Copies of this chain bind each other. A is one copy, B any other.
């Protein structure tokens, strides 16, 4: 039972609305889904406690912060052993240019999403923070032309819904 959460249509509706605007008031939420504001609070509190809602984030425009160029770096870390990749991950996460980091299957071990001021800043980053490190065997740089958020994130459509209107999901 640890990682499983039951979500009814009200929960899903609330999540969907909050994904559009996380600051929607409980009053507005209540009006949209047709329950009382206090019930909405209840639901959201439960969703936070159950770990479905991880947090409330501010989305910023990197360009407006002077980081007008973004890129994805595909990185091979060799040898790929815990005592090397642990410090590597922590070092990359601490860089002010890093936005996100993925540990992957496939020929490239990591993908790093970075935001920089321009190409010279990117060159500096690659040379000083990546290829200069002994454990970094290879870096491939892909510039980002454009990016889109998708969503909202919803549970998968279940082929055969059970008798109740509930969707049971599992970690």
Contacts and interface: CB of A to CB of B under 8 A. Distances in A.
Interface of A: 3, 5, 7, 15, 18-19, 21-23, 50-68, 72, 89, 92-96, 98-106, 108, 111, 115-117, 121, 140-151, 153-157, 167, 169-171
A147 B100 contact: yes
B58 A142 contact: no
Contact of A170 (B52, B58, B66, B170): B66
B63 A3 contact: yes
Number of copies: 2
Contacts of A143: 104-106
A150 B100 contact: yes
Contact of A151 (B3, B53, B99, B146): B99
A65 B147 CA distance: 24
A68 B99 contact: no
A118 to B, nearest CB: 10
Contacts of A154: 65, 96
A153 B99 contact: yes
Contacts of A5: 64-65
A51 B162 CA distance: 45
A159 B11 CA distance: 49
A108 B61 CA distance: 25
